[in-house]
Amino acid sequence: MTRLFIADIHANLPAFEAVLEAAGHVDEVVFLGDVIGCGPYPAECVHLLMSLSPCAIAGNHDLAILRQPAHEAAAAPAGDWDAWSRCQLSEAHAGYLAALPLELNTVSCGETVRLIHKTDAPYYLHPAMPDRLLAEYFRCIPGGTVYCGHSHRLISRVVDGRRLVCLPPVGQPRNGDPRAGYALEIDGVLEFHFVAYDVETVITDLARVGLPDAYRQRWECFLRRGCDPEWSREYRPE
């Protein structure tokens, strides 16, 4: 049995396609939210995700974009990325995303796993966080094993007898490595992988979103480096 675990595609089609090609044939795809948001290919990524018939949950960006009625999004000012993304989606795409649950249970590595997109932590999880802090953020989430996305950094740790896994992102790395991340479970063993993709194509296609020049240039740098002074801040102990 081979399962592909992915999260945080963020409308980055070349990264998504590179992950699928690198993973090869799998028996099941498990998606942990944020297929759209802050990328130039929202419709294409939702369409591709739908074609995989995954076990899937919604992410915070998915929900935020869906909250905008299509007619209001069409009247939004140029450069509103969420509104632009909503206008790219067909009603079939929007209906698919709206029907996704917020949490699910599945089986991975012989254990029942709780799938969530994010915890209630006030900021992104970080691999440098101490066990006590991670345990607190996962305290109210049921299950002995929890997989999540959202934080855009890989975390895989056993804390107080519970396994906590935060998947690396497909479409928006923040740890200084611009490659797309994913996890493969093969015969009960979960391994994490990273694959390069065509970043320059994404950067070229950002132009169609209509972002202000300075903001677009910041995103170009972010995609090339997998790092941004604000979005990639390191953990500072309390």
End-to-end Cα spacing for the chain: 42
Q: Is 220 within a domain? A: yes
Q: Is 138 within a domain? A: no
pLDDT digits (tens, 9 = 90+) for 27-53: 999 999 999 999 999 999 999 999 999
Q: Is 216 within a domain? A: yes
If you average pLDDT over every residue of the chain, what do you get?
A: 95
236 pLDDT higher than 90: no
123 pLDDT higher than 90: no
Question: What total number of domains does the chain contain?
Answer: 1
Average pLDDT over residues 96-115: 96
Residue 238 banded pLDDT, cuts 50, 70, 90? low
Residue 142 banded pLDDT, cuts 50, 70, 90? very high
Q: Is 186 within a domain? A: yes
Q: Is 58 within a domain? A: yes
Q: Is 214 within a domain? A: yes
Can you tell me the distance from the alpha carbon of 33 to that of 7, in angstroms, rounded to the nearest whole number? 6
112 pLDDT higher than 70: yes
192 pLDDT higher than 70: yes
Q: What's the Cα-to-Cα distance from 151 to each of 7, 44, 117, 168, 195, rounded to whole Å?
A: 10, 23, 9, 8, 19
Q: Is 157 within a domain? A: no
Can you tell me the distance from the alpha carbon of 88 to that of 93, in angstroms, rounded to the nearest whole number? 9
Count CB neighbours of 11 within 10 A: 28
This prediction has a pTM of 0.96
Handedness of CA 89, 67, 217, 214 (dihedral sign): positive
172 pLDDT higher than 80: yes
Percent of the chain with pLDDT over 70: 100
Average pLDDT over residues 126-134: 94
CATH number at residue 221: 3.60.21.10
Q: Is 49 within a domain? A: yes
**Structural domain that includes position 72:** 2-102+170-225
